[in-house]
Amino acid sequence: MPAQDLQSIAAALVAEGKGILAADESFPTIEKRFTGIDIESSEENRRAYRDLLFTTEGVEEFISGVILFDETVHQSASDGTPFPQLLESKGIVPGIKVDGGAKDLALHDGEKVTEGLDGLRGRLKEYYEKGNRFTKWRAVINIGDNIPTEYGIKANADALGRLAALSQEGGFVPIVEPEVMMDGGHSIDRCYEVTARMLDALFGELKRASVDLTGTLLKTNMVLSGVDASERAGVEEVARRTVDVLKETVPDEIPGVVFLSGGQTDEQSTAHLNEMNKIGPHPWELSFSYGRALQAPALDAWKGESSNVEAAQKALYHRAKLNSAARSGSYTSDMENAAA
């Protein structure tokens, strides 16, 4: 695909007022979510739930793209329309999670490396034919005693670089996602340090892999205190430190950064994004690629009952609208309880 086409797709994904819905939960993850509302994680229940999300009227006002799971790519809406085509008809770009999950890094206790590169070129061809136009690959970076090591960071940066190159070769915009985890009692300073190291390594690898940064998006964590830290940084500090680390490490050519919500509440993830955009302007768009932080209200409203679909869709629409406001720094906490 010509570079200008990749650039136009990347730009569409971070269009003004819009962000990405991550609906790419693996089987264990969605089973955990469904257990929380006491329903079985059957193929039909998973299909019905994704159908609910994707057919929400007007959601395309705030959602530019959706990350799909492999199973979902092959499923259809209740009217028989394949999900990628349904999304495309609403002006939403369909994308696909292509990694095989984070596995233990050999001889490195506590560290992970993401697998899934074997056979990826062939899988990408199939995904393209299904209508998908961007990929997503997540790397997991844990903070602990003496970790992450340089080797652990390098291993994940290398995989992300290869993923990005294969994606662009196949006509996809790659979303590269290094996630520095919130688990632990580390300070916000430690999170900043590790995030900077990971992003430095990532962009070095993308350059070596000849990846076109103008047709690439970064999905990353915000700079946060560990979940068990004795002192947790507030909204303004999180926003300032996150913007600072991006300015230190992320080239201006990247069209946008789409944050993950990673352990934050719905409100926290929206408030942090809002504060970052208030302290702009920035050389890249600062947007969202939230999963649970967008879906949780809808899932709680649905509870697996067809009679609750309308209420669930209303909840999703409202949450997406709040995050859209955060794109321009115009979100306020008063909006949380306003009518959708």
Where are the chain's structural domains?
3-337
Which of the four pLDDT bands, split at 50, 70 and 90, describes residue 263?
confident
Query: Tokens at residue 44, please?
Result: 């039909």
Average pLDDT over residues 198-224: 98
Amino acid letter for position 177: E
Given a contact cutoff of 8 angstroms between Cβ atoms, the answer to whether 6 and 212 are in contact is yes
Let me know if 177 is a catalytic residue: yes
Average pLDDT, the chain: 96
pLDDT, tens digit, 9 for 90 and up, residues 136-185: 999 999 999 999 999 999 999 999 999 999 999 999 999 999 999 999 99
CATH of domain 3-337: 3.20.20.70
Region of residue 321 (phi > 0: left; psi between -120 and 50: alpha; otherwise: beta): alpha
So what's the pLDDT on residue 212? 98
Facing residues of 91 across strands?
none
> How open is the CA angle 15-19-23, to the nearest 5 degrees?
140
Average pLDDT over residues 37-61: 97
Cα–Cα distance for residue pair 311/297, rounded to 1 Å: 10
Average pLDDT over residues 186-202: 97
Alpha carbon 177 to chain centroid distance? 7
59, 80, 122, 128 from 125: Cα distances, Å: 29, 23, 5, 5
pLDDT, tens digit, 9 for 90 and up, residues 280-290: 899 999 999 99
Let me know if 40 is a catalytic residue: no
Name, in order, each residue with C-beta under 8 angstroms of 3's C-beta and a sequence gap of 6 or more. 212, 214, 215
pLDDT, tens digit, 9 for 90 and up, residues 110-130: 999 999 999 999 999 999 999
Catalytic site residue from 177, 205, 275, 285: 177
Residue the block writes with tokens 């939230």? 290
Cα–Cα distance for residue pair 223/234, rounded to 1 Å: 11
So what's the pLDDT on residue 337? 86
Catalytic site residue from 219, 275, 285, 321: 219
So what's the pLDDT on residue 92? 98
Other beta carbons within 10 Å of 28: 9
Q: Can you say whether the dihedral through the CA atoms of 272, 274, 277, 278 is positive or negative?
A: negative
Cα–Cα distance for residue pair 12/177, rounded to 1 Å: 19
Q: Is the peptide bond before 281 cis (omega within 30 degrees of 0)?
A: yes
Question: 3-state DSSP call for residue 270?
Answer: helix
Average pLDDT over residues 207-227: 97
- 220 pLDDT higher than 60: yes
